[in-house]
Chains A and B, each alone.
Chain A
Amino acid sequence: MLELSNISLTFNEATADEKIVLEDINLNLKKGDFVTVVGSNGAGKSTVMNVVSGSLFPDVGHVSINGNVVTALPEYKRSRFIGRVFQDPMAGTSPTMTIEENLAIAYSRQKNRTLKLGVNKNRRSFFQSTLATLNLGLENRLNMKVGLLSGGERQALSLLMATFTNPDILLLDEHTAALDPSRAELITNLTKKIVKETELTTLMVTHNMQQALDLGNRLIMMDKGQIILDISGAEKKALTIDKLLHEFQRIRGQQLNNDRAVLG
């Protein structure tokens, strides 16, 4: 479904600020895969997301979705089949527009926008029934400006907007990180429910190890622009935070020794 092959990306190449952000990334997601991505700050997790979504273009390598190579496709074209939720609850919605208008924008994702009204009777009742699945009472506030909603409500709405048109791929970029624990749990549960029901192929970045273990069928760990760990299936189910940290130290420790050997 989603395939990244030999992706490399360097910022400010051949200057003092040179930074290798991705180094030969290869990743293949099957349809319905739910992959969680962990790693420290600067490991390249968000960059992978941006390369998939098209807001960054790799120096070399290919991105293909559903068998079509999309490497050169700009973000707005790719977003026809990619749903995305950002870390900042303010980022995924338009604050001065109403809830139903925001939903109408998401609704038009897969078609050409025309001079037909964005919100009509049929769509309004569809929006209402979709919003009801969130259990936040938003279905009774269709004409409220989104800027007046709380962060948790906005993030729930963003999640709904990203998924209710059934995109091919869902990208979640630390989408619970800015919320308080109870709201984060709400969004996590919603994510679990939505992904399960729609069988979306999902890539989720998180800093929360427990969340990375609880969600999804596959876990990837990144460090210094590389994928250093890729665990799925039964092995992933048996994973604990301790094991994960231990594994990280084992791999990186080895590398450290290798580096020493080279330098020495």
Chain B
Amino acid sequence: MFISIFNAVESGVIYAIMALGVYLSFRVLDFPDLTVDGSFVTGAAVAALSISNGMSTIMATLLALLAGFIAGGLTGILNTKGKINPLLSGILMMTGLYSINLRIMGQSNIPLLNEQTLFTKLVDGWSKLGIDRGISSLLNSIGLDRVPRTWGILIVMLIVTFVIKLVLDYFLKTELGLALRATGDNENMIRSFSANTDHLKILGLGLSNGLVAVSGALYAQYAGFADLNMGIGMIVIGLASVIIGESVIGTKTITRTTLAIIVGAIVYRIVMTLALRAPFLDTGDMKLITSILVIAALIVPKIVTGHKETKRKKLKRLELEQRLKGDA
């Protein structure tokens, strides 16, 4: 139990980078971008191919970022220059990317189990520090006998994800970032303040899919393979993370919202893991559970506020009745 939740958190932190990308397109640009299903795999494919050809793992991950940026930028060009509806631009790009991803990989699966990845190196370096042994004995002493093999991946990924979050927070407050946010909020207005909204959308979608591809690249190295079908349903997972996070943590400021999304991505993974443990559910039910989860995250907060509102009005009504009685 503890191990599977631990693994859920670990992969959740990697998926959080993808969710931050989805936040950038879906919330900041107000652009429901389905490219994500394709660009996640593009990132994984580029990284896996580069690593198995002997490139350094960091270079491979950066190359994935670039590939994702280009994919997202193309979706932006379809939408702005080709005047194709946002949803359709994403679908066209996602469909096209499937073939491109297969071309990149040359086969439908690239195993990385025998390769040095970012994470194998990391685990090697980390284990020399001896922190794992300390944590393990601590956990053993409180009665957990099965403990995670290493904490290195989780801690380093948390740091990486938070650095990305902080850079994103800063970017969204720069002159360029403000213009990007205004593009999603009030396009006519920002155009009347001399911003080229076409370029901003292309840039925003590029950055968004760049993050998604980095997440794909890291996930491939974490899981030990890149697979042509690993991106299916990725956009829904991203949306689920954004929506769950926002309803749990809130969206008062940018800093808070991006934190919410990281939390959302982790919560999503944990819920899925717990659901999988239910004896009457199997892997095939996961998509349905994702849908139900998103629907719940969208509807429950509304029901709660609605309920509070009814209660408040009832109190007011009682107050009025009391006062009228007093007068009479």
Interchain CB contact (< 8 A) of B185 among A86, A97, A119:
A97
Interchain CB contact (< 8 A) of B181 among A91, A97, A116:
A97
CA distance A95 to B59 in the complex (A): 40
Residues of chain A contacted by B179 (CB below 8 angstroms): 105, 108, 113
Q: Are B189 and A96 in contact (CB under 8 A)?
A: no
- Confirm or deny: A76 has a beta carbon within 8 angstroms of a beta carbon on chain B: yes
Stretch touching chain B among A20-28, A77-85, A242-250, A254-262: A77-85
Q: A75-B192, A113-B195 are in contact. Are A97 and B175 (CB under 8 A)?
A: no
CA distance A71 to B171 in the complex (A): 35
Q: How many pairs of A and B residues are in contact by the CB < 8 Å rule?
A: 86
- Confirm or deny: B188 has a beta carbon within 8 angstroms of a beta carbon on chain A: yes
CA distance A101 to B190 in the complex (A): 12
- Confirm or deny: A218 has a beta carbon within 8 angstroms of a beta carbon on chain B: no
Interchain CB contact (< 8 A) of B186 among A95, A104, A109, A113:
A95
- Confirm or deny: B232 has a beta carbon within 8 angstroms of a beta carbon on chain A: no
Q: Are A84 and B192 in contact (CB under 8 A)?
A: yes
Chain A residues 84-139 with CB under 8 Å of chain B are 84, 86, 90-97, 101, 104-106, 108-110, 113-119
Q: Are A94 and B192 in contact (CB under 8 A)?
A: no
- Confirm or deny: B149 has a beta carbon within 8 angstroms of a beta carbon on chain A: no
Q: How many residues of A contact B (CB 8 A)?
A: 34
Known contacts A92-B192, A109-B193; 9 additional CB pairs below 8 A are: A77-B194, A90-B186, A91-B186, A93-B186, A96-B181, A104-B178, A105-B179, A110-B194, A162-B192
Q: Are A91 and B189 in contact (CB under 8 A)?
A: yes
Complex A-B: 21 CB contacts under 8 Å: A53-B192, A76-B196, A79-B192, A79-B193, A86-B188, A90-B186, A93-B189, A94-B185, A94-B186, A96-B185, A97-B181, A101-B173, A101-B181, A105-B195, A108-B175, A108-B193, A109-B194, A115-B175, A117-B174, A117-B175, A119-B173
Q: Are A115 and B171 in contact (CB under 8 A)?
A: yes
| CB nearest to B174 among chain A residues | A115
Residues of chain B contacted by A108 (CB below 8 angstroms): 175, 178-179, 193
Interchain CB contact (< 8 A) of A97 among B174, B178, B193:
B178
CA distance A75 to B188 in the complex (A): 10
- Confirm or deny: B60 has a beta carbon within 8 angstroms of a beta carbon on chain A: no
Residues of B within 8 A of A (CB): 170-171, 173-179, 181-182, 185-186, 188-197
Q: Are B178 and A76 in contact (CB under 8 A)?
A: no
Residues of chain A contacted by B188 (CB below 8 angstroms): 86, 91
Q: Are B176 and A115 in contact (CB under 8 A)?
A: yes
Secondary structure call for the B interface: helix
Q: Are A113 and B175 in contact (CB under 8 A)?
A: yes
Most buried by B among A82, A105, A110: A105
Q: What is the distance, in angstroms, from A51's C-beta to the closest C-beta of chain B?
A: 15
Q: Are B174 and A114 in contact (CB under 8 A)?
A: yes
Interchain CB contact (< 8 A) of A118 among B175, B189, B195, B197:
B175
Q: What is the distance, in angstroms, from A44's C-beta to the closest C-beta of chain B?
A: 20
CA distance A95 to B175 in the complex (A): 17
Interchain CB contact (< 8 A) of A75 among B174, B178, B191:
B191
Q: Are B178 and A105 in contact (CB under 8 A)?
A: yes
Q: What is the distance, in angstroms, from A95's C-beta to the closest C-beta of chain B?
A: 6
CA distance A117 to B172 in the complex (A): 9
Q: What is the distance, in angstroms, from B257's C-beta to the closest C-beta of chain A?
A: 11
Chain A residues 25-82 with CB under 8 Å of chain B are 53, 55, 75-77, 79-80, 82
Q: Are A92 and B173 in contact (CB under 8 A)?
A: no
CA distance A118 to B175 in the complex (A): 4
Residues of chain B contacted by A161 (CB below 8 angstroms): 193
CA distance A105 to B188 in the complex (A): 13
Interchain CB contact (< 8 A) of A95 among B171, B185, B190, B196:
B185
CA distance A110 to B193 in the complex (A): 8
Interchain CB contact (< 8 A) of A101 among B176, B178, B191:
B178
CA distance A106 to B194 in the complex (A): 9
Q: A93-B186, A95-B186 are in contact. Are A79 and B175 (CB under 8 A)?
A: no
Most buried by B among A80, A118, A119: A118
Q: What is the distance, in angstroms, from A186's C-beta to the closest C-beta of chain B?
A: 21
| CB nearest to B180 among chain A residues | A113
| CB nearest to B199 among chain A residues | A76
| CB nearest to A147 among chain B residues | B185
Q: A105-B179, A108-B175 are in contact. Are A79 and B189 (CB under 8 A)?
A: no
Residues of chain A contacted by B197 (CB below 8 angstroms): 76
Q: What is the distance, in angstroms, from B180's C-beta to the closest C-beta of chain A?
A: 9
Residues of chain A contacted by B174 (CB below 8 angstroms): 113-118
CA distance A80 to B194 in the complex (A): 5
Most buried by A among B181, B189, B195, B196: B189
Residues of chain B contacted by A118 (CB below 8 angstroms): 173-175, 177-178
Q: What is the distance, in angstroms, from A71's C-beta to the closest C-beta of chain B?
A: 18
CA distance A118 to B178 in the complex (A): 7
Q: A115-B174, A119-B173 are in contact. Are A76 and B185 (CB under 8 A)?
A: no
Interchain CB contact (< 8 A) of A94 among B176, B182, B194:
B182
Residues of chain A contacted by B182 (CB below 8 angstroms): 94, 97, 105
Chain A residues 139-170 with CB under 8 Å of chain B are 161-162
CA distance A254 to B39 in the complex (A): 67
